Amino acid sequence: MIQKTLMLCMAAMLIATGAGAEELSLSARGPAVMSAPLVLGQWYIIEARGLYGYKNTDAEKIADAEWVQTYINDEWTWIETPRMSDLDLHINNADVSMMGTEDGVTFLPHVYSPEHIYRTSIFGRGEAIELSIFDTELGDNSGALEVTIRPALSGDTNLDDLVDSSDVANLMSQFAQAPSELNADFNSDGVVDIADFVIQRQNFGVDQSMSQSPEIQTATPEPATLVLLAAGGLFLLTRKRSRLAVG
């Protein structure tokens, strides 16, 4: 209990640290690139932009942080890179699921981005992270990905730099469960619960530009709609569990 309370306090203090973004260039030929240490308890957005090329037999192909161009039915087609496969961005030697955007604003899982912009989030643990393009044969690659690492707003599930009603809906859909790709586990304890709701409520209505303001650090918005929605969701979950227990 004490540990969870400390995590909540730390998250509240870190939402508006004003820390700048780190810009990294990730060569398609390697080697891996190390970031600066990520602050313990702070969520970060990792944004990857751009394309790189690689060869397969005699054809030059193209890939980005999440999708790959391949030859299907006599034409080049963009497909999402399968998990544990090559030709996409890896963090700490592991494949990551990145959210793409078609409009440049909304980021969703498993969406191809025509502008080749993708985002994912990562929880800071006081250590640096390793970024790499995974490919079994780096020698025939060309180009690079440009990667930005910056603090994220705790409570922002869809990485659009705003905590709003869509983020609340995402949290409620995960409540009392392990987090989904639209991650609502803001204290990274493995389950979405009331502690995560408290963090989200604190940042409700805050966007990335507002988070740089000192006033945001002490203000705690409590919109009635957010409180009612959370209370209703908790009631429905409790009621459902009661019925299951009786059945």
Give the residue with greater pLDDT, 172 vs 18.
Answer: 172
DSSP for residue 104: S
The per-residue pLDDT for 224 is 46
The per-residue pLDDT for 82 is 78
What value, to the nearest 5°, has the Cα angle with vertex 2 and ends 242 and 43? 85
What is the location of CATH 2.60.120 in the chain? 19-151
Give the residue with greater pLDDT, 10 vs 99.
Answer: 99
CA–CA gap between residue 3 and residue 108 (Å, rounded): 32
The answer, yes or no, to whether residue 8 has pLDDT greater than 70, is no
What value, to the nearest 5°, has the Cα angle with vertex 10 and ends 9 and 15? 105
Residues 55-89 pLDDT 10s: 766 678 899 999 998 888 888 899 998 766 668 89
Residues 166-191 pLDDT 10s: 999 999 999 999 999 999 999 999 99
| CATH architecture group of domain 19-151 | Sandwich (2.60)
The per-residue pLDDT for 30 is 81
The answer, yes or no, to whether residue 48 has pLDDT greater than 70, is yes
The per-residue pLDDT for 70 is 85
Please, are residues 87 and 67 in contact by the beta-carbon 8 Å criterion?
A: no
Please, are residues 122 and 37 in contact by the beta-carbon 8 Å criterion?
A: no
Please, are residues 149 and 44 in contact by the beta-carbon 8 Å criterion?
A: yes
Name the band, by pLDDT with cuts 50, 70 and 90, for residue 19: low
Residues 103-135 pLDDT 10s: 999 999 999 999 999 999 999 999 999 999 988
Q: What is the mean pLDDT of residues 162-169?
A: 95
Residues 191-243 pLDDT 10s: 999 999 999 999 999 887 655 443 333 333 444 444 545 555 555 444 544 44
